[in-house]
Each structure stands twice: as structure tokens, then as C-alpha cells.
Amino acid sequence: MQITTINIVLQYMLSKAQSKHIRSLTQQKFREQHQQFVAEGSKIATEWLSSNHKILKIIANKEWINESINLIAKHPEAEVVEVTEQELMMITSLQTPNHVLLVVAFPSIVPFPTSANKWYMALDSIQDPGNMGTLLRIADWYGIDHVLCNNHCVDIYNPKVVQSAMGAHIRVVVHYTDLELSLKQLKLPIYAAVLGGNNVYDFGRTDSGVLIIGNESKGISDTVLATATHLVTIPRKGGAESLNAAVSAGIFCALLLPQ
Amino acid sequence: MQITTINIVLQYMLSKAQSKHIRSLTQQKFREQHQQFVAEGSKIATEWLSSNHKILKIIANKEWINESINLIAKHPEAEVVEVTEQELMMITSLQTPNHVLLVVAFPSIVPFPTSANKWYMALDSIQDPGNMGTLLRIADWYGIDHVLCNNHCVDIYNPKVVQSAMGAHIRVVVHYTDLELSLKQLKLPIYAAVLGGNNVYDFGRTDSGVLIIGNESKGISDTVLATATHLVTIPRKGGAESLNAAVSAGIFCALLLPQ
């Protein structure tokens, strides 16, 4: 019989300085200054702790720590703080705090693979954090591992983006870039999601390409649209003026990517 | 030459009682008590004012009233109040108030058409208001004009649902009902969106059916799942554990409904 002993150094109170630091990470300028962001909630924390990402702080209630001891032990470099629900309430950016909050280090920068023959997603000025997270989750589901964003897109480490992406950041690399320039460099078919383009059902599936999704109210900007080789539209049957940006991205992936 | 004079009775200040009443409509119990809800923002207000729905109050800034005078005149029964941005700020449930807020009367109840041969959407315990609104917007886009909800679903007149549905309520009728019972009465193929079911690409399109979408974390409950004739799954290519409920509904509509 083999007995494994797991040693974890536990801290039992959150200092004022720690609280202040964590709360500051709701703001992009502090996230960039410290190269850190926050991931909250049991499901998302489990995803991050199971990955190879560098976890800096694990702040959780007693029950969660007890249940997740093996996962925590995978990160000996992380500071582990056991807190009460009241303490979690002080630092959460969720409406109701959810057992655990992680402080995660920004991943190291990966260059954009301009030569690979696969599918990419390009996001032009996506503003809503929920949409951005959902778009990354779609990319993750369809195995699109590089997403291009212009600088008008919401920051992917915004707490609401992290929340709705459900761990997509772990597998999908996001590049903030000049979209027009980057799209021109890719020698791939470029599909722009627009209203009033060609029926998406008239296109066949292809092994590689780029799907451009535009801003929630203004759509794709003219300069980015000019790089497109195909304008594609989901045919409408009812009365809605448009579909949500993330929903349409999901439908285009289901219809254009290899089955 | 014909000159048309438009007369609108304008009120110039929001009374304390009016403000209090409007703010109370963020709560479901007051919405049900008064049979009223709030629709906010220029785009959504325009949709509602263009419809045949009974509008009770139009509360807007001077510029919006001037631009929308013809639309306002279509609703002589509505109380029109010109307010400042500060006054709008007091009653909005948006983060930044957006020119106009309407108080709308609940539509009259339409019976559920159990005999019609078309597509329906059935929602089992959809909790997130943004998802609910997006699901109604998808139904609206695909011409699904009746949606079934069980009583664990979020209220469709929640301000965030109204916001993300983008006017879908005008064309889509939502029935809160016992899903299990209602689904059994429909003599149609019933497709349950699940993880680990049959590949959706292996099914053909059909002219009529029901698409069941389950709760964001727990999926479809066992009793509702038992009514399904087909378990359908969107094949996964990447690492995400699941897709967002509304995104998967959009993909199923794109693959199962008539093209």
C-alpha cells in the first residue's frame, strides 16, 4: 500500500493589499501592468488548473480546497488562500461569488502562423464581453486555434469574457493586430459575414479559410470588408433584422468548415 | 399641397410616482401585477412603436422625440414624457441610458396551436436572460413563431431578455407551460440537443419538428428528454467542453430546418 502525502501551504486570510490588487484586475490597465487576470467559478477554475498555465493565486473556500486538493497540488508555485464567502464577495466580479477565484499569469506571446492551411476567425470591433467570450468558445469547439482581433475589440481578459469563454483561452490564441494587413498576408479564402451577401448554403465546405465577424451594430468596417473574397449571409425566414454576432459565427462554422 | 399637422400631448417632467412605477417593473412580480414591461433603447423602441402592440408610455429626450414624431403619433393612447439624460439615468436598467424608454402592455394571450405542422422551439430551464433573448431572436430569424418554456425559465419580460431579443417578442409568442405534457401532445419529431447524441449531420432537414434546448449547465431534464424522438449533437473538432445554449440552437436551426 502506498500513501501519498500532499503538502499545501495555506494562508488563512486575505490581506487588504491582496484584495485591492485582485479588484484592480477588473481594469485592463492593471491587467496589462501586472500581466495577470482573474478567472472565477468552480468549472472555469478546474479548467485552468488542469492546464499548463501559470497560476499565481488560488483563493477559495474550505470545501472547494478540500475537494480540489490534487488539482491545487499541481501548482506548487501558486499562493493558496482559504477564504470565507464574505471575503470572496469582496473580490468577486460575479453577481454571486462561486467558491473559487484564480489569479492567472498572461500566457507567453505566440507568433501568428501566417503559412498554416487551416481555419481562422477574424473579429472586427467586437464590443460586448459576452459575445467575445462566446466567440472564443465557438473557435475552441471547432478547433480554430488562432483568432485575430483588431484593437477596437474588447480585451479578452475582461472578467466577463473569461467567464463566457469557459476556458477557451487555454486552447485558442488571440492576436490583437491590424486586421486589414494580417488578412491580406493570409493567402486563404476570406468569408465576410454580412447581411445581403450570397446565401451561405450555396458555398461548399473548405479545409481552410478565414471567417470575419463584424461589430454588433455596425458590422464589418469597409477597409476590412475589402479584404474579403466571399460575402456570405445566412438566409432569413422570419422577421428578425439580424442574428447575434456569436450565433451567426457558430452557424457559419457549422456550414463552411469541414464536417 | 397637403399639410399634415401632428399633435402630441407632451409632459415635461417625470413625477416621483412615475419613476418609482417604472423602476418597479425591473421586478417580475410588479410586471405581472401591472401587466406591463419596459423596452429600452432607440433601435428596440423603434421596433415596438412600429408594431401593433399597445404602448403605454414613451419617455425620451428631446432629440429622440423630434426625430420620431411620426412613430409617436401612431400611438395617441401613449403618455409621452420629454426627459433629460439625468432623468433617464434614474429609471434605466441599462448601464448607459439610450435616448428612449417605453412602457409596453403585455400582449393578449394566444392559445398554443397544437395542430400546426411547423417548427417549434422548447426551452427547458433557460436561466440566463441574455441567452433567453438570443434564443427568441434566433426563433424570430428562422420564422419559429411559437416557443414553449417551462416555468423554470427566466421571465421573457426581464429587461435583459427584452434587450437581447431585439424585438423578437413582437413576432414570437412564448408559452409558459408544462413542457413534458405539451411535447407529448405535439405529434411531431422532437429533437433534443444533447452532448453525446447522434451526429446532427446524419439527419436530413424536415418541414416540422420541435427543437429542445436545455439548461446552461444541467442540460435537458430527464422527464423532458424522455419525450424526444431524436437525440442530436453538433460534432466537436476542438477542446471546448460544450457550446453556449443559444449558439447551439442557432446551429441546429441552420442544419435541421428547411433551407
pLDDT tens track for B208-221 = 999 999 999 999 99
On whether any CB of chain B is under 8 Å from the CB of A239, the answer is: yes
pLDDT higher than threshold 90 for residue B235? yes
CATH number of B119-256: 3.40.1280.10
Domain boundaries, chain B: 10-105, 119-256
Best residue in B135, B247, B256 for a mutation probing chain A (most A CBs within 10 Å): B247
Stretch 71-130 of chain B: residues touching chain A, C-beta under 8 Å: 130
Confidence of residue B109 (pLDDT cuts 50, 70, 90): confident
Using the beta-carbon criterion (under 8 Å), do B137 and A257 form an inter-chain contact?
no
CB-nearest partner of A238 from B171, B239, B246: B171
On whether any CB of chain A is under 8 Å from the CB of B238, the answer is: yes
- Number of CB atoms found within 10 A of residue A152's CB: 14
Tell me which CATH homologous superfamily contains domain A10-105. Answer: Ribosomal protein L30/S12 (3.30.1330.30)
CB-nearest partner of B166 from A139, A240, A254: A240
Q: What mean pLDDT is predicted for residues B154-176? A: 96
Residues of A in contact with B167 (CB under 8 A): 240-241
Q: What mean pLDDT is predicted for residues B86-94? A: 89
- Cα–Cα separations (whole angstroms), residue A228 to A191, A221, A224, B116, B252: 6, 11, 7, 42, 27
Using the beta-carbon criterion (under 8 Å), do B237 and A143 form an inter-chain contact?
yes
On whether any CB of chain A is under 8 Å from the CB of B202, the answer is: no
Using the beta-carbon criterion (under 8 Å), do A139 and B242 form an inter-chain contact?
no
Q: What mean pLDDT is predicted for residues B91-113? A: 88
For residues A58 and A96, the model is more confident at A58
User: Over the stretch A169-223, which tens digit does the pLDDT of each residue have?
Assistant: 999 999 999 999 999 988 899 999 999 999 999 999 999 999 999 999 999 999 9
On whether any CB of chain A is under 8 Å from the CB of B246, the answer is: yes
Which burial class, exposed, middle or buried, applies to A249 when counting CB atoms under 10 A from its CB (0-12, 13-18, 19+)?
Answer: buried
Predicted pLDDT of residue A4 = 66
Nearest residue on chain A to B169, alpha-carbon basis: A240
CA distance B248 to B259: 17
Residues of B in contact with A246 (CB under 8 A): 244, 246-247
- Work out the mean pLDDT of chain B and round it to a whole number: 93
Check if the beta carbon of residue A238 is closer than 8 Å to that of residue B139. yes
Q: What mean pLDDT is predicted for residues A94-121? A: 87
Give the DSSP per-residue string, B110-152.
----TT--SEEEEESS---HHHHHHHHHHHHHTT--EEEE-TT
Nearest residue on chain B to A253, alpha-carbon basis: B251
Using the beta-carbon criterion (under 8 Å), do A171 and B239 form an inter-chain contact?
yes
User: Over the stretch A88-105, which tens digit does the pLDDT of each residue have?
Assistant: 999 998 877 789 999 999
Predicted pLDDT of residue B94 = 82
pLDDT higher than threshold 90 for residue A224? yes
- Cα–Cα separations (whole angstroms), residue A238 to A52, A226, B44, B221, B251: 46, 29, 17, 29, 16
Where is A90: in which H helix or E strand?
helix A85-91
pLDDT higher than threshold 90 for residue A109? no
Stretch 9-28 of chain B: residues touching chain A, C-beta under 8 Å: none
Predicted pLDDT of residue A242 = 95
On whether any CB of chain A is under 8 Å from the CB of B195, the answer is: no
Using the beta-carbon criterion (under 8 Å), do A137 and B244 form an inter-chain contact?
yes
Using the beta-carbon criterion (under 8 Å), do B250 and A248 form an inter-chain contact?
yes
On whether any CB of chain A is under 8 Å from the CB of B254, the answer is: yes
Predicted pLDDT of residue B4 = 65
Predicted pLDDT of residue A3 = 64
